């Protein structure tokens, strides 16, 4: 099974590399040229030795050979340098392509995948694993091509000098390959374990850094350190094992290659004594034998690095292979009135834990629907289904009589404005953050939206006003200020439907009262779903849905539900008793 996965990963990696066939051809040509030039030098040196043995004068014939050797060496070095430059270009273009596809895939995978994996693990795949893959791939390009060409050409040159000595080299070579292959097969799973543990460590670091306030508030520093030490120790252990076993490859192949060199030397000496080869030819052959065995040492090291690279590539390629949210139609939703109907809806995040069962709901255009209930009753799940962040297991959701699965997700979400309790702000200016939903908005439109959301006042007090740059997640702003900016986004777009999920939970009571007035004006004629824990904010709703365990247990207006003296009345009275 592991071999099949390795093979599959190899094929995918090669498909990325094959996009740069022209550069590959050039680098192979340069590798061939540099090897030929390098391997021609021993022939010249061998001829020089024979001339010295024949007592030729250095100035007559040997000096020109010296100049020829220098020219060849400089030319070979130039080809090698150019080849390395092209190899770098191929490697980092492949890495760029993989990262682009991985990040693009993250934008299109179902939200279920994102929710099912820690953010640190996903970041580790796209960043750390791709970096590890790049290191292995670069080493492969740098040494593998040159090594293979060197082996092939030295074999040709050795057989030209003496067939029998060349045969000795060929017969002993498979021993080195067998050892390298045996060790590399044993180390692959260790590198997979190393990559997974590194991902776990990245995830832990990301989680702890993002929640340092909670860690410090509950004196969890030592527990966090203990947990990190445990993961770090496991990473050290599997890294040492992977490095130890993979490092056996090089000395093992060096030992076998030394045996090959010694055998060639002894047999060559015998042939020289017999007069089958000259001293210069023997010197040349030994140089070739050394050049021949050297790539095996390098390639064995490359194989080790490639095991690590393949393990890391496999993880990021698995991410790229994740199925995307497929659009089953190209039909676009337009001219939305806001009539919503949910018929016999069943949904659960996991098969073993039921949540929403046989859910039914009818909402008329322009109605304000409040959703209340205890934590975990399915309020946010209902929002996720309306927005098609998740699709129903059974049943259907109709909007203006149209099944929402029959229209594109983009056109559906474009008609629904949403403000969440957990706000998200990108790195950029205040202006850029407000006009995310309407990039072509003018500065005046943005300011009007900010005034309507009561964000204009604090924005003007910032150093550069609307041009103030805020960091990732808006770390320089309070939670309430971030929520005001999120409200301003929706007020700028004014879509025909609204979803407000605890939209004012972090805002002070005085400002909240003003925003509720702005919301009331904004919701006029717009179908609105309001999720709230503070029941004082939903008294004016046209309908209140009281949810429990994924079902509606009560529904009606505020006064009607109080008169029923049921679950809602108890919930309301508990907040104001």
User: Given this model, what pLDDT does residue 59 score?
Assistant: 53
More confident residue, 320 or 54: 320
Query: In the CATH hierarchy, which fold is given to the domain comprising 2-320?
Result: ABC transporter transmembrane region fold (1.20.1560)
Domain 340-576 has CATH 3.40.50.300: yes
Cα radius of gyration rounded to whole Å, the chain: 35
pTM over 0.75: no
pLDDT (average), residues 120-130: 82
**pLDDT tens digits along 380-409:** 888 888 888 888 889 999 998 899 988 888
CATH 3.40.50.300 residue spans of the chain: 340-576
**pLDDT tens digits along 289-313:** 777 777 776 666 666 677 778 778 8
With residue 563 as reference, give the H or E element that holds it.
helix 558-564
User: Given this model, what pLDDT does residue 521 score?
Assistant: 75
3-state secondary structure of 211: coil
User: Given this model, what pLDDT does residue 507 score?
Assistant: 67
pLDDT (average), residues 244-255: 72
**pLDDT tens digits along 1-39:** 555 666 778 888 888 888 888 988 888 888 888 888 887
pLDDT band of residue 503 (cuts 50, 70, 90) is low
Between CA 349 and CA 112 the distance in angstroms is 8
CATH 1.20.1560.10 residue spans of the chain: 2-320
pLDDT band of residue 216 (cuts 50, 70, 90) is confident
pLDDT surpasses 80 at 288: no
Question: Tokens 């005046």 label which residue?
Answer: 444
Between CA 186 and CA 244 the distance in angstroms is 11
User: Given this model, what pLDDT does residue 397 score?
Assistant: 92
Between CA 480 and CA 477 the distance in angstroms is 8
For residue 172, give both structure tokens.
């002993």
For residue 231, give both structure tokens.
């993961």
**pLDDT tens digits along 38-83:** 877 777 777 777 677 666 555 567 777 788 888 888 898 898 889 8
Are 142 and 87 within 8 A, CB to CB?
yes
User: Given this model, what pLDDT does residue 174 score?
Assistant: 66
pLDDT band of residue 472 (cuts 50, 70, 90) is low
pLDDT surpasses 80 at 146: no
**pLDDT tens digits along 148-159:** 777 788 888 778
Nearest to 337 by CA among 306, 366, 303, 310: 366
Question: Tokens 């990021």 label which residue?
Answer: 316
3-state secondary structure of 290: helix
**pLDDT tens digits along 358-373:** 888 888 988 888 888 8
pLDDT (average), residues 425-454: 86
Please list the alpha-helical segments (H only) found in 54-162.
63-108, 111-115, 119-124, 130-139, 145-161
More confident residue, 291 or 556: 556
More confident residue, 371 or 260: 371
pLDDT (average), residues 206-234: 78
């Amino acid at each position: 099974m592991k071999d099949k996965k390795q093979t599959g990963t190899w094929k995918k990696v090669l498909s990325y590399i094959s996009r740069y066939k022209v550069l590959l051809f050039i680098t192979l040509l340069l590798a061939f040229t540099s090897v030929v030039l390098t391997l021609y030098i021993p022939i010249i040196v061998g001829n020089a030795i024979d001339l010295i043995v024949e007592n030729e004068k250095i100035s007559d014939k040997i000096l020109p050979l010296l100049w020829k050797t220098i020219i060849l060496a400089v030319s070979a070095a130039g080809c090698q340098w150019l080849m390395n430059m092209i190899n770098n270009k191929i490697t980092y273009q492949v890495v760029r392509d993989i990262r682009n596809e991985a990040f693009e895939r993250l934008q299109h995978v179902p939200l279920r995948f994102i929710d099912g994996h820690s953010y640190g693990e996903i970041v580790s795949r796209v960043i750390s694993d791709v970096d590890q893959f790049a290191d292995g791939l670069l080493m492969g390009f740098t040494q593998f091509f040159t090594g293979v060409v060197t082996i092939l050409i030295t074999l040709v040159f050795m057989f030209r000098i003496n067939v029998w000595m060349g045969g000795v080299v060929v017969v002993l070579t498979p021993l080195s390959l067998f050892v390298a292959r045996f060790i590399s097969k044993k180390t692959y799973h260790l590198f997979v374990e190393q990559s997974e543990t590194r991902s776990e460590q990245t995830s832990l670091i990301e989680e702890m850094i993002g929640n340092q306030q909670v860690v410090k508030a509950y004196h969890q520093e030592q527990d966090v350190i203990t947990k990190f030490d445990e993961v770090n120790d496991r990473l050290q252990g599997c890294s040492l094992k992977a490095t130890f076993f993979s490092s056996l490859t090089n000395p093992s192949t060096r030992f076998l290659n030394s045996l090959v060199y010694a055998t060639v030397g002894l047999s060559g000496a015998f042939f020289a004594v017999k007069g089958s080869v000259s001293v210069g030819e023997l010197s040349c052959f030994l140089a070739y034998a050394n050049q021949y065995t050297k790539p095996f040492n390098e390639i064995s090291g490359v194989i080790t690095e490639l095991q690590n690279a393949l393990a890391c590539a496999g993880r990021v390629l698995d991410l790229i292979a994740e199925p995307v949210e497929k659009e089953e139609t190209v039909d676009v939703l337009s001219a939305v009135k806001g009539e919503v109907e949910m018929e016999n809806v069943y949904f659960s995040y996991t098969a073993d834990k039921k949540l929403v069962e046989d859910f039914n709901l009818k909402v008329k255009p322009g109605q304000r629907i409040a959703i209340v209930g205890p934590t975990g009753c399915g309020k946010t799940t209902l929002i996720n289904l309306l927005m098609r962040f998740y699709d129903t297991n059974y049943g259907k959701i109709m909007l203006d009589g149209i099944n929402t699965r029959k229209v594109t997700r983009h056109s559906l979400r474009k008609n629904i404005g949403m403000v969440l309790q957990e706000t998200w702000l990108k790195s950029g200016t205040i202006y850029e953050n407000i006009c995310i939903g309407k990039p072509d908005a003018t500065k005046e439109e943005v300011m009007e939206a900010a005034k309507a959301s009561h964000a204009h006042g604090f924005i003007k007090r910032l150093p550069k006003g609307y041009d103030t740059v805020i960091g990732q997640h808006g770390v320089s702003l309070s939670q309430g200020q971030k929520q005001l900016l999120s409200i301003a986004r929706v007020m700028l777009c004014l879509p025909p439907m609204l979803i407000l999920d605890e939209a004012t939970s972090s805002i002070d009571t005085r400002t909240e009262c003003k925003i509720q007035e702005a919301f009331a004006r904004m919701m006029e004629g717009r179908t609105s779903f309001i999720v709230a824990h503070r029941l004082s904010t939903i008294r004016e709703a046209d309908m209140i849905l009281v949810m429990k365990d994924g079902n509606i247990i009560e529904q009606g207006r505020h006064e009607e539900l109080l008169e029923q003296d049921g679950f809602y009345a108890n919930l309301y009275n508990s907040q104001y008793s």
